[in-house]
Chain A
């Protein structure tokens, strides 16, 4: 018993140390963001500033070159649309692959899975040219359409639908329910946990995506939070770190909040698919 107690204390100590290393960068960002702007670099020796400069946040939010409220609005529209689209399209396809028989099903499913191994760099250039031909650059279309479905989402939903008992749809079928009716009235309501998982993944992945929005937007009013933040960083370079950190805090808070409320779905989704999105 004594050794097990010592062991537990040891485990806690190591876990706390690792947790401190994990959180320290965030904490230092938060503290630095409250130091006087336009002054000397925040000194780690005296952590807390003499005065807490909350007005840094106001200054960030009122910058003309980087309208963060507009970025937030863009990001929200894009993330919500992509999430809803993925929930519908991936759930439909996942259901088809898990529950229905059709010619070429297994080959098609293999095709979906195989595309997950293609590096982003391969598809980015043609996808960019395509979106340019469509005349979608600097529009919500460019930001939303490519995200509306994903092989990962199809895979996740299929894995989930495979675990649902089939007795329910047999009963519904005998009662004369159509395949879509079974999907919509029986399978979809039962798959709320899987949908929540996919929704959480899609929302956070879209919210924090940087590469694609960087490529397809150039007008300030169409930028997302991530790209907007990178513009903010470019504008200041290696100067005025308190303001830079305040901007980073503002961009981080929404996504960390979403994560805290949905974290159990993340863990479940990874366990279900063995993938991290």
Chain B
């Protein structure tokens, strides 16, 4: 890429030649009369917006986390690392982190397995398969407040659809459960709903991954006498590793930020058993008005998400090397 730039002798081309994107379909060819300032003008509105609503807030959140910043009080003293020290010994904060971990570990792997299974089904050349894909995607675009209300209604102990179904198939014991009021079952109930909501987007990503697996691989495996399971185990799964990794990372990041279902369905209860970190931060910032403390929590959440992503990276690159 660099050599090409040098040949044309355009200086700006050499400068811009370190291209970060691996998926760029081709190297950029020189734009003869484009001046550096023109490019800046094109990205300027987006950049200003990014500065005001993303970059400045990121820096400001860090600053806030070093202050006792109460919206209602005029004096906002600098407290250094005090907020972080308090959080380190705060059982409610650790409880929220644990709940988020539980939610992520419960919803992400199961949700991904279900989505992969459905994607393999919907990848077949069958008539009407497009209709099924559309149906599976619907919960993801539906209003999250409305779906939270629907599931609250389904989980009701009296005349709830779920308990009625369990009763109908003879599971009388399970049919007595008041799902969202149970310290044991409230979190699994939220997780089950998240699998329903997340199916569509994950399925579409897996479908894109499946499409990119070359058909001859399967034909060769069939010639060698490999069964469907062997083909899945030794071709589909390894070839899907980048897709799987991508879904794992993005799903985990969003699982740690879940808010609306908790706000609508359990308010963190019963007795803080579903008080996830996304909801906990909201309460500290907008119910108790401790914006500094809440900012410290949000930075710790960011670090947790970063660490989780890093571990997943390490794990996957180890598998690729092996």
Chain A residues packing against B (C-beta within 8 Å):
8, 11-12, 14-15, 18-19, 21-26, 28-29, 32, 41-45, 88-90, 92-93, 95-103, 105-106, 108-112, 115, 117-127, 129-130, 145-146, 148-149, 151, 154, 159, 162-163, 166, 169, 173, 179, 183, 204, 207-208, 210-211, 215, 225-227, 229-230, 233, 238, 241, 244-245, 248-249, 251-252, 255-256, 259-260, 263, 266-267, 270-271, 274-276
Q: Are A119 and B49 in contact (CB under 8 A)?
A: no
- Which of A11, A119, A207, A270 counts the most chain B CB atoms within 10 A? A119
**B46 with A149: CB separation less than 8 A:** yes
Asked if B150 contacts A26 (CB within 8 A), the reply is: yes
Residues of B bordering A, CB below 8 Å = 12-13, 15-16, 18-21, 23-26, 28-34, 36-43, 45-47, 49-50, 52-58, 60-61, 64, 118, 121-122, 124, 126, 129, 132-147, 149-151, 153-154, 156, 158-161, 164-165, 196, 199, 201, 204-205, 208, 246, 250, 253, 256-257, 259-260, 263-264, 277-278, 281-282, 285-286, 291, 294-295, 297-299, 301-302, 305-306, 309
Determine which of B43, B45, B204 lies in contact with A108 in the assembled complex, contact meaning CB atoms within 8 Å: B43
Could you pull out 5 A-B pairs where Cβ atoms are within 8 angstroms?
Answer: A22-B138, A25-B151, A106-B18, A118-B54, A121-B278
How far is B162's CA from A44's CA once the two chains are assembled, in angstroms?
10
Inter-subunit contact B43/A19 (CB<8 Å): no
Known contacts A126-B60, A230-B145; A29/B153 CB under 8 A: yes
Q: Given A100-B38, A270-B201, A93–B47 Cβ distance below 8 Å?
A: yes
**A125 near B298 (CB under 8 angstroms)?**
yes
Pairwise interchain contact A255-B143, C-beta atoms closer than 8 A: yes
Say yes or no: B28 contacts A44, CB within 8 Å: no
A24 and B154 CA atoms in complex are apart in Å by 10
B279 to chain A, nearest CB (A): 10
CA distance A110 to B55 in the complex (A): 13
**Are B31 and A100 interface neighbours, CB within 8 A?**
yes
B124 in contact with A11 (CB, 8 Å): yes
Complex Cα distance, B34 from A208, in Å, reads: 40
CB <8 Å contact, B208 and A271: yes
Contact in complex: B196, A22 (CB < 8 Å): yes
**Contact across chains for B43 and A96 when beta carbons are under 8 A apart:** yes
Check B143 against A45 for contact (C-beta < 8 Å): no
Cβ of A106 and Cβ of B20 under 8 Å apart? Answer: yes
The answer to whether A127 and B126 touch across the interface, beta carbons within 8 angstroms, is: no
The residue that B54 contacts in the complex, of A26, A115, A249, A271, with Cβ under 8 A, is A115
- The chain B residue with its CB closest to the CB of A131 is B53
Contact of B138 among A8, A26, A100, A225 (CB under 8 A): A26
Q: A108: which B residues are within 8 A, CB to CB?
A: 43, 47
Question: Would you give the shortest CB distance from A255 to chain B, in whole angstroms?
Answer: 6
- On whether A92 and B301 interact (CB within 8 A), knowing A100-B31, A101-B16, A274-B246, the answer reads no
The answer to whether B147 and A25 touch across the interface, beta carbons within 8 angstroms, is yes
Please measure, in the bound complex, the distance between the C-alpha atom of A226 and the C-alpha atom of B299, giving whole angstroms: 28
Contact, CB under 8 Å: B150 / A28:
yes
Shortest CB-to-CB span from A144 to chain B, Å, is 12
Q: Is the interface of B mostly helix, strand, loop or mixed?
A: helix
Q: Which of A21, A159, A227, A238 contacts B196 (CB 8 A)?
A: A21
- By the criterion CB–CB under 8 Å, are A274 and B34 in contact? no
Question: With contacts A18-B136, A229-B149 known, is A96 near B61, CB below 8 A?
Answer: no
User: Is B141 within 8 A of A204, CB to CB?
Assistant: yes
Closest 5 CB pairs of A and B: A96-B42, A102-B39, A100-B39, A93-B46, A126-B57
Give the residues in chain A near B33, CB-CB below 8 Å: 173
Which residues of B have CB within 8 Å of A179? 31, 34, 38, 42
Chain A residues within 8 Å of B37, by CB: 102
Closest to B122 in A: A15
Q: Measured between alpha carbons, how far is A179 from B126 in the docked complex, in Å?
A: 46
**What residues of A have a CB within 8 angstroms of the CB of B121 in the complex?**
11, 14-15, 18
Closest to A100 in B: B39
A164 CB to closest chain B CB (Å) equals 10
Residues of chain A within 8 A (CB-CB) of B256 are: 119
Interface centre among A8, A25, A145, A226 (most CB of B within 10 A): A25
Complex CA distance for A11 and B118, rounded to whole angstroms:
10
Cβ 8 A contact of A28, one of B29, B161, B257: B161
**Nearest Cβ distance between residue A261 and chain B, in whole angstroms?**
11
A40 and B253 CA atoms in complex are apart in Å by 41
Q: Most B CB atoms within 10 A — which of A24, A96, A98, A245?
A: A96
Q: How far is the CA of A120 from the CA of B105 in the complex (A)?
A: 20
